[in-house]
Amino acid sequence: MQNPLTPEVLADPVALTRALVDIESVSLNEKAITDCVEEVLRGVPHLRTYRHSNTVMARTELGRAQRVVLAGHLDTVPLNGNFPSTMRGDLMYGCGTSDMKSGVAFALHLAVSLPDPRYDVTYLFYEAEEIESRFNGLTLVGESHPEWLEADFAVLLEPTYGIVEAGCQGTMRAIVSTHGERAHAARSWHGVNAIHGAGEVLRRLGAYEARRVTIEGCDYREGLNATGIHGGVAGNVIPDLCEIEINYRYAPDRDPAGAEAHLREVFAGFDFRVTDAAAGAAPGLDNPAAQEFLAAVGAAPIGKLGWTDVARFAAMGIPALNFGPGDPNLAHHKDEHVELTKIRDGAATLHRWLASA
């Protein structure tokens, strides 16, 4: 297909957002959009551009004292009757408008239009953020080209509605099990009902008081919840096993080991096993580039309630923040949309930060 990312489109972050949205790129189907982005970047003389699978990296090499990363994922969740994009007044509707092609548009617009930034800049456009970690472009690049990710500071262009969201929460999923003994339902006293035993687990969850933690001035509200319950053998059998799925969102002052130790205390006396865990990321606001970025935004940051790929940068010792024009509450919705003023204002903010002397 003819590349829709023309020079005229690249010059306007709003038009660029719409053009990106109108290239379907559901996770694992990013080749078309990656081809378009790569073609644009390879034509920019002040950038060196490389590709791995459906992830593209372009970087300046100006000999600056610091290097910053602007990173955004190219994939979206599955379409839901919201493709291609539509316009309604100051709103652009479509899959990926908020999460996060409007953020990607920031990075691609700046990559093309800003040949002499105050820092050296690495632009990362990566695949498969919306699905399992093993497919994630940052995971794959970290394994094959870790030098692509080296920097002093990173901005992940996730939807934040134009507010800086610092760091991110850690997340842990676990199974709490209760056990019993099978029996015929007509003679239930000969058995022990494992589903009934789950009542104590649910009581502890209902009584749980989640922490609120302030780190570097950013508030993180934790959450511990049951997200599923499974049990039962047949309609006439007393069940001998019940499993309660638990999701724990914890502040970045805890690591996965600390989070697991806390949950084992909460569910003492029950079988407990962790099924998935990801560390959070501290705010990292004392970094000089982060301070200059906050000054350009002109508003106080808040803590990120959720997990994002800033944690991958934090694990490498690179402070990272979330900043994008989309509303995170609209991500993955059928009526996902973004405000055009947020796109324009956010692009101006990033330009002011990178171009200022």
User: Which residues are marked as active site?
Assistant: 75, 129
Which three-class secondary structure state does DSSP give residue 318? Answer: coil
Residue 343, classified by CB atoms within 10 Å of its CB into exposed (0-12), middle (13-18) or buried (19+), is buried
Going by the DSSP 8-state scheme, the letter that residue 330 receives in this structure is G
Please state, in angstroms and as integers, the Cα–Cα distance from residue 102 to each residue in 33, 70, 92, 294, 321, following that order.
Answer: 14, 13, 10, 20, 17
Contact 122, 59 (CB under 8 A): yes
The answer to whether 164 and 301 have CB atoms below 8 angstroms apart is yes
Q: Alpha-carbon dihedral of residues 8, 13, 18, 23, nearest 10 degrees?
A: 80
Question: Rounded distance, CA 211 to CA 208, Å?
Answer: 9
CB 194 within 8 A of CB 200: no
Distances (CA, A) of 260 to 29, 132, 174, 283, 315: 36, 21, 9, 22, 19
